Amino acid sequence: MTTKVFVDGQEGTTGLKIFEYLSQRRDIEVLRIEDAKRKDVEERRRLINASDVTFLCLPDVASRESVSLVDPGNTRTVMIDASTAFRTQDDWAYGLPELSRAQRERLRTSKRIAVPGCHASAFVLSVQPLVAGGLVPADFAAHAYSITGYSGGGKKMIAEYEAGGNDKLASPRPYALGLTHKHLPEMSVRTGLTRAPIFTPIVGAFLKGLAVTTYFSPDQLTRPAKPKDVRDMLAEYYTNEPFVRVLPFDAASNLDDGFFDVQACNDTNRVDIFVFGNDERFVTLARLDNLGKGASGAAIQCMNLAIGADEEAGLAR
């Protein structure tokens, strides 16, 4: 028996990558919309309600419209949204199975799933266990930055970088310097922090790959702990998680001649988490593929849980 899947917003970066994943699956029947009808509300309504799973790869307003197209009596279709529209709403399951012991079961039973943002995924996975374990207080003033590939900016930014000829694009480019990045609400809500972090993202001259670094001082913790203790706490939290690796503390093998490889998780659905530093200061660092675990891969992982498939189906570690 196949699962019928519709992608609403199939031409965007996330939608195209989801199609790539789905094309490898024999247990999936993709419902396609004709190009001429992509904005036809009634055709979208028909396909959404004919599907077992609909992925929403749309801006927030359009995602909300698509959700409103689900027939009142339709209790079958699972809506998996990749926008920021529903990520902090309690009636939507947050699409991060590793978030807590109960989260995976919630994703198996939910009909409304909000896929996390790419920066938020890395931040939450590296900080939330420390808050949940009581080592980091809920009122912790987090400071973090992320470096990411240009594919996170969508088709227009990809085209700008790949056209070449613009020397400005050769340098890393910090952005969202008004400190109101759209991922901030979920970064605080889903970690259990009572305040949003101070967060600055940077786009680099490479296609994909992302790493979020968060800064800590021991005097900010609720009890004495060395960086290795923090690493061990993270490792215990993610024991047996197929897509999360916590690497040894400060090991030379974590670096390439002293430098960190932001792209080492590319083409996987894996998150690598590290702790670097010393007894006076340390950082957590989480790395992922912003098109994989940071977007489309996470969406497929959620779909697998929702339809009762192997969670790892079609996804690389």
Catalytic residue ranges: 118
Map 221-285 to HEC letters: CCCCCCHHHHHHHHHHHCCCCCCEEECCCCCHHHCECCECCCCCCCCCCCEEEEEEECCCCEEEE
Nearest CA to 65 among 91, 90, 83, 53?
83
Q: What are the b/e assignments for 34-48, b being 16+ CB within 10 Å? A: eeeeeeeeeebebbb
162, containing H or E segment = helix 154-163
Cα–Cα distance measured from residue 171 to residue 186, given in angstroms and rounded to the nearest whole number: 29
Task: Return the number of other C-beta atoms located less than 10 Å from residue 160's C-beta.
Answer: 15
What number of CA atoms fall less than 13 Å from residue 94's CA on the CB side?
22
CB 227 within 8 A of CB 277: yes
* AA letter at 124: V
Nearest CA to 232 among 284, 301, 292, 165?
284
Task: Return the number of other C-beta atoms located less than 10 Å from residue 2's C-beta.
Answer: 11
Nearest CA to 238 among 90, 103, 92, 93?
103
